[in-house]
Chain A
């Protein structure tokens, strides 16, 4: 049963990576979108795209943490004991990011929006970096089990953690750009399609390069996981590479016609999800390589069963609700509220060249 719960845990982590990871990546694009005027349009699109969904996406993190501490208490205790600093930074980053976003969305004055927007955007980079660094610390075996703390600094300031952090930021930015291409197309905003398409290509290249560098680093610094990736997890690694390359090809081809790449989104998700799974499979059977096995860390079986039941209920009850949310969102049935506009005009009031979303075709009549 501990295997099943470990799989469930990784499902939650994957969901967080491909859903919330993209929301964090959108914050990255917000950060680099330029001054208040120049960046107004991409920012409005970002607001529009993540507004309705970021909180639901964020719950995956809570869920993953809760599953970890309930099903594998010792692993949770060891991770939090050693990685006190990066986890504290991540927690604070989440506060600033969520609050910054919600506040910005509710304000209209440019100066205020800029201040909270900056908060939102910088912490959107800090948070995935910290999480990637934590993953790197675990993967490279720097988190000891058994109630003693590892090194408070080098546990998360080390080659694998740096790669993990940069990769998390790059992968999030890549996913976000790909999703935003889609969102822009949905709003029939050709200029924004092109804007994010170019950035998606850039981020794909950056993420790919980081991943390649990661292979070298892992080999030197995280031998167990490297060996696993070269053996057990090789198919997943290959899948990830193929997905990345495939989506890159589609994105580049999209430059030709105005047709935005269709399958790129799916391939991008596949690329990120399979690298997360690759990590998990590579360090199997350890939760903390090579100190704590999944089976050693597992809670009593009744607890594990409860976690699985909760997961089952979530699949049956929460799954459809989530699907409903995404479906309505994708059909533009959850538009921004009119009085919380993106600074100079909400997404519906873009500068020239942007068409209004088909607001008047509302089914509400």
Chain B
């Protein structure tokens, strides 16, 4: 191995971060899309709405693809816990593993019912079929709450007893799962999933509307997810504000990095952008006097004292570069969150005033960009959480460098993983586009996709089994 062996720690961090960042993009789709599909499905059955029916059916087929990619990227994470952090798992698995054991139940539920729902369109009756979709939504929520319990435990470890040698000798499973950080992180991520999922799906239909596909089908495809997202956004801002105050009180080192506070002080300004220079002083950016103190504890106002990075030993706080990363990520999350709130307010206002969505192209353009922006906000939020925890993997108990594998070849697997995931991402987008094109072409041909057979809403035509479907495999797709 000799020459090929390189310090594994930075590579392990990079690989973990990269694979998590990839997995988390699929998560909102797994969690929120099923719910939006069911909204469309409900509407289809209740109101005899043919467009909603086609929408629900097609969404479920896209979901089948994104769910599969979510499942395999999640599996990689499962392996990585051991491959990258064996010493972490060996020492803490007995506690850290518990939330994942619970999550396993939700994975099963999700995988089973997603299959029933996706494959059940043709042969199950409408309402029973609808109900096979409900457990997917429940499992998505439960899965998120469990996996976040694991992350919250890393931030706020609890529920275990150590012996002198530092080994876990006793565990309180309930305390491990329900750490103090859990309600904050879990609610923030859960709402994020609906926010991101909503904006992401809506953005695709916004593009369609911009391109002149202004039929009812596309409108509905926009309205359902956008409404979900627009409801989630203001909630998310309020939850985020609560989370920030919690971090101020309980994870002061992370908070110092978030607010870019080098020295403990009161009347601390909120710095937009800006960074710590080589001497550890704030450089550049726009400082709003006193605001960080006020937001941290409104009752105390500007006299609120915020601990600075200097309050912690150098080896127990984020480095200068990490602090800069955290602060930038924080600005991105909050900045995008603010923009998305404005967009949601615009939408809400239009509904209140005109009982219709905003008509301007500017709105649609903004909505088209909102999907990617929301994903960015979510990624940034995770960077705040994870990089802000550095140098700890289990805060206060174990450092990242003590957790990593000793395997010098991690840099190779990192490069391979990046290459594979990039190819996967490209393929995923191309496949989804090919599906969408095919669906559109079908619309131009005949109505062939008839879920629920002749019992389907509004007595749509005859059952069309696959064999009779007019499709031209060599022409469509791609």
Contact A321 B109 (CB under 8 A): yes
Beyond A76-B89, A92-B420, 16 additional pairs, beta carbon < 8 A: A56-B112, A56-B115, A62-B107, A71-B97, A81-B406, A88-B413, A90-B79, A103-B65, A103-B431, A105-B64, A106-B64, A109-B478, A302-B171, A314-B105, A318-B108, A360-B463
CB-contact partner of B124 in A56, A152, A364, under 8 A: A364
CB-contact partner of A147 in B90, B115, B448, B474, under 8 A: B90
CB-contact partner of A149 in B95, B406, B454, under 8 A: B406
B330 located at the interface, meaning its Cβ lies under 8 Å from any Cβ of chain A in the complex: no
CB-contact partner of A107 in B95, B114, B434, B455, under 8 A: B434
Tell me which of A52, A101, A105, A332 has the highest count of chain B C-beta atoms within 10 A of its own C-beta.
A52
B280 located at the interface, meaning its Cβ lies under 8 Å from any Cβ of chain A in the complex: no
Contact B467 A348 (CB under 8 A): yes
Give the interface size bracket for B toward A. 35 or more
Given A69-B89, A306-B101, A52:B119 Cβ within 8 A:
yes
Contact B477 A109 (CB under 8 A): yes
Distance A356 CA – B103 CA, assembled complex (angstroms): 40
Chain B residues within 8 Å of A, Cβ to Cβ: 1, 61, 64-65, 67-69, 71-76, 78-83, 86-87, 89-95, 97-98, 100-105, 107-109, 111-116, 118-125, 135, 168-173, 405-407, 409, 413, 416-417, 420, 424, 427-428, 431, 434-435, 438-439, 442, 448-449, 452-455, 463-467, 469, 471, 473-474, 476-478
Distance A63 CA – B123 CA, assembled complex (angstroms): 31
Distance A66 CA – B65 CA, assembled complex (angstroms): 25
CB distance from A9 to the nearest CB of B (A): 12
Closest 10 CB pairs of A and B: A70-B97, A80-B82, A73-B93, A77-B90, A299-B94, A102-B68, A334-B119, A98-B72, A349-B467, A91-B79
Across the interface, name the chain A residue whose C-beta is closest to B408: A152
Measured between beta carbons, the chain B residues less than 8 angstroms from A365 are 453-455
Contact B115 A53 (CB under 8 A): yes
Contact B105 A328 (CB under 8 A): no
Distance A339 CA – B64 CA, assembled complex (angstroms): 13
A322 located at the interface, meaning its Cβ lies under 8 Å from any Cβ of chain B in the complex: yes
Measured between beta carbons, the chain B residues less than 8 angstroms from A352 are none
A87 located at the interface, meaning its Cβ lies under 8 Å from any Cβ of chain B in the complex: yes
Mostly, the B contact residues are helix
Contact B111 A362 (CB under 8 A): no
Contact B1 A152 (CB under 8 A): yes
Contact A362 B123 (CB under 8 A): yes
Distance A92 CA – B448 CA, assembled complex (angstroms): 38
Contact B89 A59 (CB under 8 A): no
Contact A306 B173 (CB under 8 A): yes
Tell me which of B93, B98, B439, B448 has the highest count of chain A C-beta atoms within 10 A of its own C-beta.
B93
Contact A80 B123 (CB under 8 A): no
Contact B115 A333 (CB under 8 A): no
Chain A residues within 8 Å of B, Cβ to Cβ: 51-53, 55-56, 58-59, 61-63, 65-67, 69-71, 73-74, 76-81, 84-85, 87-88, 90-92, 94-99, 101-103, 105-110, 112, 116, 147, 149, 152, 299-300, 302-303, 305-307, 310, 313-314, 317-318, 321-322, 324-325, 328-329, 332-341, 343-349, 356, 359-360, 362-365
Could you pull out 7 A-B pairs where Cβ atoms are within 8 angstroms?
Answer: A62-B78, A84-B405, A90-B79, A99-B427, A306-B101, A338-B469, A346-B467
Contact B93 A333 (CB under 8 A): no
Given A103-B431, A108-B471, A318:B64 Cβ within 8 A:
no
Contact B69 A102 (CB under 8 A): yes
Across the interface, name the chain B residue whose C-beta is closest to A119: B427
Across the interface, name the chain B residue whose C-beta is closest to A100: B427
Measured between beta carbons, the chain B residues less than 8 angstroms from A340 are 61
Distance A66 CA – B442 CA, assembled complex (angstroms): 44
CB-contact partner of B93 in A52, A299, A317, A348, under 8 A: A299
CB distance from A163 to the nearest CB of B (A): 23
Across the interface, name the chain A residue whose C-beta is closest to B98: A306
Given A88-B79, A306-B101, A325-B115, A314:B108 Cβ within 8 A:
yes
Distance A310 CA – B98 CA, assembled complex (angstroms): 9
Distance A328 CA – B116 CA, assembled complex (angstroms): 8
Contact A302 B172 (CB under 8 A): yes
CB distance from A194 to the nearest CB of B (A): 23
